[in-house]
């Protein structure tokens, strides 16, 4: 892709970051994004709760690993800023936390400034990169983070945009190369859409993504568990997102019902 093209905001077709922003009630989306977001909402009524539940999981997971002593965070597939952002959660728990964000969408880059206002004691950085360009992404992240020390790597609601094809994205192989680059004591935080809980709705949602030219790869539990191969899963393991170590604020959302997104956190031994 030409460099100028990588930075151009294309309003002629939907983008995952902007569709997700619409579900979260944000304003950084275009009619084409809203159209796809509404189509998916019409076939999967859990999608708004799923997006909110996913943001809440990010907060609980980041606090959990910060409390376990993690001071470095690499968040890939960051999305359009939505308060509280990951660095705010991490730096509230540990003001000296260093956070690097990475996303390949030009609209996220345009908002990067909002992601870079961190605590004085810590640091925040933004890398405009595709997760599939692992070497470039890690080299840039390495300007802020020390990969000889533990890092929490988060891919939250990202992997369902990547395929399994060994000649394509090879998402499990790709993730393994990221985990291999992490020091012992690092963590992987991951969530992704599954067809397990509401297969008909997720199949229809996938059709809408595909018709819009977007990849979408929901994965069953075994496929999500595979992301954590070789790592020590924290309790309660990989489970629907709202059930992952819920806090009192999550009780009402849990009562609204389960959402088809799995989540887990694991430590590299």
Residue 17 in the binding site for ligand SAM (CB under 6 A): yes
Which part of the chain contacts ligand SAM (CB under 6 A), choosing from 3-11, 97-105, 216-224, 239-247? Answer: 97-105
Of 14, 50, 53, 79, the one binding ligand SAM by CB under 6 A: 79
- Backbone phi and psi for residue 65, each to the nearest 5 degrees, phi listed first: -75, -30
CB of 215 to ligand SAM, least distance (A): 8
Q: Give the CB-nearest residue to ligand SAM.
A: 79
DSSP-derived 3-state class of residue 209: helix
CB of 108 to ligand SAM, least distance (A): 5
37 burial via Cβ count (<10 Å: 0-12, 13-18, 19+): buried
Of 50, 53, 77, 260, the one binding ligand SAM by CB under 6 A: 77
Of 106, 81, 114, nearest to 15 by C-alpha is 106
Q: Are 90 and 99 in contact (CB under 8 A)?
A: yes
Per DSSP, what are the bridge partners of residue 75? Answer: 101, 154
CB of 107 to ligand SAM, least distance (A): 8
Of 37, 61, 70, 108, the one binding ligand SAM by CB under 6 A: 108
Of 194, 174, 206, nearest to 77 by C-alpha is 174
**Token digits for 236?**
């309660």
CB of 241 to ligand SAM, least distance (A): 10
Of 29, 46, 64, 78, the one binding ligand SAM by CB under 6 A: 78
Diameter over CA atoms, the chain: 48
Residue 22 in the binding site for ligand SAM (CB under 6 A): no
DSSP-derived 3-state class of residue 117: coil
Between 154 and 193, how does the x/- string for binding to ligand SAM read (CB under 6 A)? --xxx--x--------------------------------
E strand or H helix at 244, and its extent?
Answer: none
Give 15 or 267: the residue with its C-beta nearer to ligand SAM.
Answer: 15
Of 130, 149, 164, 170, the one binding ligand SAM by CB under 6 A: 130
Q: Are 98 and 72 in contact (CB under 8 A)?
A: yes
Of 28, 103, 125, 250, the one binding ligand SAM by CB under 6 A: 103
- Backbone phi and psi for residue 229, each to the nearest 5 degrees, phi listed first: -55, 135
Residue with tokens 């880059």, as numbered in its chain: 109
CB of 79 to ligand SAM, least distance (A): 3
Phi/psi-derived region of residue 79, left when phi > 0, alpha when psi is between -120 and 50, beta in every other case: left
**Token digits for 125?**
């950085």
Of 28, 33, 44, 105, the one binding ligand SAM by CB under 6 A: 105
Residue with tokens 């606090």, as numbered in its chain: 63
Give 1 or 2: the residue with its C-beta nearer to ligand SAM.
Answer: 1
Which part of the chain contacts ligand SAM (CB under 6 A), choosing from 2-10, 151-159, 221-229, 246-254? Answer: 151-159
Residues contributing to the site for ligand SAM (CB under 6 A):
16-17, 20, 54-55, 58, 77-79, 103-105, 108, 130-132, 156-158, 161
């Amino acid at each position: 892709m030409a460099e100028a093209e990588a930075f151009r905001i294309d309003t002629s077709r939907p983008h995952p970051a902007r569709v997700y922003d619409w579900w979260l009630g944000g304003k950084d989306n275009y009619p084409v994004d809203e159209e796809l977001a509404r189509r998916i909402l019409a076939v999967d009524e859990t999608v708004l709760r799923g997006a909110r539940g996913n943001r809440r999981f990010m907060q609980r997971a980041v606090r959990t690993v910060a409390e376990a002593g993690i001071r470095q965070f690499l968040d890939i597939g960051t999305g359009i800023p939505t308060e509280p952002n990951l660095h705010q959660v991490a730096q509230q728990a540990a003001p000296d936390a260093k956070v690097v964000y990475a996303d390949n969408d030009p609209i996220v880059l345009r908002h990067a400034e909002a992601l870079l206002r961190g605590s004085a004691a810590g640091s925040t950085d933004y890398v405009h990169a595709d997760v599939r360009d692992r070497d470039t992404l890690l080299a840039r992240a390495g300007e802020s983070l020390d990969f000889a020390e533990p890092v929490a790597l988060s891919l939250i609601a990202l992997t369902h945009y990547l395929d399994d094809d060994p000649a394509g994205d090879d998402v499990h192989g790709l993730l393994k190369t990221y985990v291999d680059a992490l020091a012992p004591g690092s963590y992987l935080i991951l969530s992704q859409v599954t067809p397990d809980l509401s297969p008909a709705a997720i199949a229809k949602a996938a059709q809408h993504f595909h018709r819009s030219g977007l990849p979408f790869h929901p994965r069953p539990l075994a496929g999500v568990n595979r992301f954590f191969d070789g790592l020590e899963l924290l309790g309660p393991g990989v489970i629907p997102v709202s059930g992952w170590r819920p806090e009192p604020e999550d009780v009402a959302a849990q009562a609204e019902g389960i959402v088809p997104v799995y989540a887990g956190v694991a430590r590299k031994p």
